Amino acid sequence: MPRLARLRSYLPLALAIFVALLCSVPGALAVDPSVIVFQGFRNAENPSSGVYTMSPNGNNVNKITVGKQPSISRDGKKIVFVRGGEIYLTNADGDSLEQVTNDDLDHDEPVLSPDGKTIVFSGLRRGKSFPQIFAVSSDGTNERALTPGTAADSEPSFSPDGNRIVFVRGPGDSKLVTMPAGGGDVKYLTGNFPFSTPDSPSYSPNGKRILFHAIGHNGKEPGNFIYSFDADDGSNLDVITKGGNEGSEPAYSPDGSSIVYRRNINLYSMDADGGNVKPLTNLSGNDGGNIGPSWGR
């Protein structure tokens, strides 16, 4: 058989092996890396908060709907957000709006599971002193509490395989904790570290690290810095933001190579090791603000 014909005959097998390897890697889901979603408002318009999208380079900024606290699905196709205290779902382009909850109760910080079937969120229910973590099916059915409401639990986020949830537990000196996706025994990850009040936790795409913001020293002056540590036990702490590069509300890119984050009213990106810092938005104090970016979280 001629050499070119032999090479062509191997292509279907090579493609099948590549697909099998891709599917076998934890967290290696088909993702659209071209969309960052965030909450913003513009003083020149109706100042109510809107759900915005943009390209990873900061171009193509687009307000797709009114709402707050948006989070994009891991495949980049769906955005979950809050409007009027209720949870909504929409396509990444703002089409096909669906209301998920409708019970006049508190719903905050919704995040979709990797398979898109479940939404976790935080909420304060009548008769409880503290907010809890809840789950609800994406069609609005089967709402259930995952934490008991004996501590202030907030900011949940799924692991890439959907098996665990990381969240913030307070009040007071808050900690980062994880638990099974169906609720159960929690594991405290933050102990005697050089920071306080950690927040905005999320898993790396391979599930090995947890990214978060906290107030710390970074070896110099106190400030807002971005950290990561091992997802299993909180070991191997890394200060990602370097020098005077303060930041908060971090989120990994779908491939884990970059991080989007907020500094004051603007959004920035940087490499996962803290290098190559780039501004994505350029608002002044009179323009409005951008917060809470999500990038295939």
Q: Which of 62, 54, 117 is nearest to 89 (CA)?
A: 117
- Determine, yes or no, domain membership for 10: no
| Residue of higher predicted confidence among 29 and 296 | 296
- Report residue 7's pLDDT band, with 50, 70 and 90 as the boundaries: very low
CA distance 240 to 223: 13
Backbone angles phi, psi at 164, to 5 degrees: -135, 160
| Residue of higher predicted confidence among 243 and 113 | 113
% of the chain with per-residue pLDDT over 70: 86
CA 112 vs CA 49, 72, 153: distances in Å: 21, 8, 17
Span of 4-8, 105-109, 236-240 with lowest mean pLDDT: 4-8
- Report residue 192's pLDDT band, with 50, 70 and 90 as the boundaries: confident
A 10 A CB-CB count for 212 gives: 27
Q: What is the pLDDT of residues 132-182, one digit of tens each?
A: 999 999 999 999 999 999 999 999 999 999 999 999 999 988 999 999 999
Residues near 106 by beta carbon (within 8 Å), at least 6 away in sequence: 85, 123, 124, 125, 131
**DSSP secondary structure, 173-226, as one string:** S-EEEEEETT----EE---S-SEEEEEEEEE-TTSSEEEEEEEE-TTSS-EEEE
Give the pLDDT confidence score for residue 74 in this predicted structure: 86
> What's 109's domain CATH number?
2.120.10.30
- Determine, yes or no, domain membership for 206: yes
Q: What is the pLDDT of residues 151-160, one digit of tens each?
A: 999 999 999 9
**What's the domain range around 103?**
96-294
Give the pLDDT confidence score for residue 297 in this predicted structure: 55
Give the pLDDT confidence score for residue 254 in this predicted structure: 93
Residue 29 has pLDDT above 60, yes or no: no
Give the pLDDT confidence score for residue 75 in this predicted structure: 86
- Determine, yes or no, domain membership for 65: no
- Determine, yes or no, domain membership for 34: no
User: Which H or E run contains 108?
Assistant: strand 108-112
Span of 84-88, 162-166, 177-181, 214-218 with lowest mean pLDDT: 214-218
Give the pLDDT confidence score for residue 227 in this predicted structure: 95
Q: Are the CB atoms for 116 and 72 separated by under 8 Å? A: no
Give the pLDDT confidence score for residue 114 in this predicted structure: 95
Count of domains observed in the chain: 1
Give the pLDDT confidence score for residue 219 in this predicted structure: 55
This prediction's pTM: 0.86
Residue 228 has pLDDT above 90, yes or no: yes
Residue 98 has pLDDT above 70, yes or no: yes
- Determine, yes or no, domain membership for 42: no
- Determine, yes or no, domain membership for 13: no
- Determine, yes or no, domain membership for 159: yes
Residue 25 has pLDDT above 80, yes or no: no
- Determine, yes or no, domain membership for 71: no
A 10 A CB-CB count for 283 gives: 16
